[in-house]
Chains A and B, each alone.
Chain A
Amino acid sequence: MTNIKPIKIAIASGKGGTGKTLLSTNLFYTLQKNNHEVTLVDCDAEEPNDTIFFSGTHQNTIDVTIRVPIIDESKCTFCVKCHEYCSYKAIFIIPPSKIIKVMEDLCHGCGACTYACEFGAITEKDVSLGKVNTFSITDKTNIIETRMRVGVYSPIPIIKRGINEAGNNHIVLFDSPPGTSCSFIQTVNKADYVLLVTEPTPFGLSDLKQSVEIIKTMNKPYGVVINRAGLGDDKVHQYLKENGIPLLLEIPFDKEIAASYSKGEIVAESKPELQEQLLKIFNEINQKYGVSNN
């Protein structure tokens, strides 16, 4: 076995449903089978799915909270300063009628209102945004699942917490949320390497271009995996060629793969050639971009 360095790899895509979870879970399975120490963080806190594919033992749960203000109306002078300090329009106030209300759904928990209040009328309480669940799959492998509560507006604090829980000294895979917005950036920002999954269709290409654009500005090394190869057209291939972007792997469109995935099976389990391909890609990425201890 070659010398494996600690590394964080984000599996991402601009477009939803291209195969991030397929690639993440199969790579995790392959590394596990090769006796590596690896943690998979499911960063898609809005719709986490990675644990469907593995049976593990629940280790612990962290409740992720933010500090939301409570206003003591007997101390409040309705001076409006907290309302002015709030950048999220989360404090509703009508001074003449002596009405003040915190809209907890809009609050980001920044603490500006608490800082603003000169009359000691604001205290804070913890409000739950979601959970970070850790499951051990084998003695060397874990899945950390980030799970936002339904109805919560932003998954960011939960994703950050999940990523922090994974630690630094082994192989960590991030199954990213779709898109290129803030939650994608939070995930990719912490990675040493980004695996971009796309499909060979006009929608896939458009979203791929957007992902590439932002990853370039973040100065992260990256490569592309085309899923459902054989469908659509060859414009994604052309784009990769013209821009000198490495194409690491093509997973063919295959109804068998789709059916196996739909049942919550790990496709690589019955396809040793996929395991070999994934291991080869991983080893190359690890040699080049793994974090050296010395």
Chain B
Amino acid sequence: MELAIISGKGGTGKSSISAAFATLEKNVLLADCDVDAANLHIIFNPTHEEEEVYIAGQTAIIDYTICTNCGICKDYCRFDAIHFVNNRIEISETTCDGCQLCSRVCPCEAITMVDNDKSRMYSGTFRNGKMVYGRLAPGEENSGKLVNMVRAKVKAIAKSNGLNNIIIDGPPGIGCAAISSITGVNNVLVVTEPTLSGLHDLERTLELVTKFNLKAWVLINKFDLNPDMSLQIEKRCANLGIDIAGKLPFEPVFVDAMVNCKSVLEWAPESAISKELKLIWSRINAPQA
């Protein structure tokens, strides 16, 4: 089974919950698809058996020994990345989208494209199975392509190692990276919290999951911080026909576990929260009617 854990809103507890699930059964395959802020390697300290370069598009560079400062490139750029700065034409590296049009229109061929090659994908072994994670270099477009690369690697490792339990820790938001994290999985677990922001983000996230015809579950984390809001979320899900996978109380033991580089199941296996997480896991994994 392939389970993706996402949340519209950040900081709802995706990674801590992913870590817990990754230590529930033996021989799991864990994918950290929050490539913009990958964190699970902190808890699991996996080996780096393989490192692969991810090319996150290109950036246009002007060769000033050739450039005549004509400004034609500026007229064609639709990303507002080219400007005259102190009477010299300049391309903003952070704004350039890498479309290459400037390089094509330049009459003196003064513009070349260079690969953005700072991002990486790592795969290796951790104490409970195999792990793949991406690290997007700061400032790169979080396009979901690195997530796709992680997912492809996961597929290959699953096949060659006969691993069936795949857990995907997804990114916050509902953009391209989130879409890439959930496409084709069996179950999507949306972790939310009982806040107005949480509810608002949950609605947008469920809209996305439904759009892709995937089985969605909702987990309300820290539900006791606002039981009324939690109830409101439950009702909303009932109206939408979305199953609640479970509710977890606010529990500092989650943070203690993280500080000690353990999942909550490893740190406090007998705690109420660990037991509830096991229940949630079996609910999601039960054969569906």
Contacts and interface: CB of A to CB of B under 8 A. Distances in A.
A and B interact physically: yes
Interface residues of A, number: 62
B36 A261 contact: no
A180 B139 contact: yes
A186 B42 CA distance: 28
B214 interface: no
Nearest to B205: A47
A206 B204 CA distance: 28
B204 A47 contact: yes
B39 A207 contact: yes
Interface in A223-273: 231-233, 255, 258-259, 261-264
A202 B255 CA distance: 9
A239 B88 CA distance: 41
Interface SS majority for chain B: loop
Interface in A157-181: 160, 177-181
Contacts of B258: 201-203, 232
B255 A231 contact: yes
B36 A259 contact: no
B112 interface: no
B46 interface: no
A93 interface: no
Nearest to B16: A203
A88 B141 CA distance: 13
A141 interface: no
Contacts of B70: none
A150 B211 CA distance: 9
A87 B100 contact: yes
Given A115-B104, A263-B226, A15 B37 contact: yes
A128 to B, nearest CB: 16
B172 A87 contact: no
A259 B9 contact: no
A182 interface: yes
Given A111-B101, A112-B99, A150 B36 contact: no
Which of A14, A115, A153, A160 has the most C-beta atoms of chain B within 10 angstroms of its own C-beta?
Answer: A153
B10 A151 contact: no
A69 interface: no
B240 interface: no
B58 interface: yes
Given A16-B9, A112-B99, A206 B143 contact: no
Interface in B170-208: 171-176, 178-179, 193-198, 200-201, 204, 207-208
A32 interface: no
Contacts of A155: 175
B225 A115 contact: no
Interface of A: 14-18, 21, 46-47, 49, 52, 67, 85, 87-88, 108-112, 115-116, 148, 150-156, 160, 177-186, 189, 199, 201-203, 206-207, 210, 213-214, 217-218, 231-233, 255, 258-259, 261-264
A233 B259 contact: yes
Contacts of A177: 173
Nearest to B228: A263
Most chain A CB inside 10 Å of its own CB: which residue of B15, B196, B208: B196
B274 interface: no
Contacts of B79: 110
Interface of B: 8-12, 15, 36-37, 39, 42-43, 57-58, 76, 78-80, 94-95, 97-101, 104-105, 136, 138-144, 171-176, 178-179, 193-198, 200-201, 204, 207-208, 211, 222, 225-226, 229, 250, 252, 255, 258-259, 261
A52 B226 contact: no
Contacts of B207: 150
A178 B35 CA distance: 12
Contacts of B78: 67, 109-111
A47 B200 contact: yes
A160 B97 CA distance: 13
A262 B194 contact: yes
A174 B143 CA distance: 22
Contacts of B197: 21, 47, 49, 52, 264
A200 to B, nearest CB: 9
Nearest to A207: B37
B212 to A, nearest CB: 9
Given A52-B200, A206-B39, 16 more contacts: A17-B172, A47-B8, A47-B201, A49-B200, A49-B201, A87-B99, A111-B76, A111-B78, A111-B101, A153-B176, A155-B175, A179-B37, A180-B139, A201-B258, A202-B261, A206-B42
B195 A112 contact: no
Contact of B36 (A111, A154, A180): A180
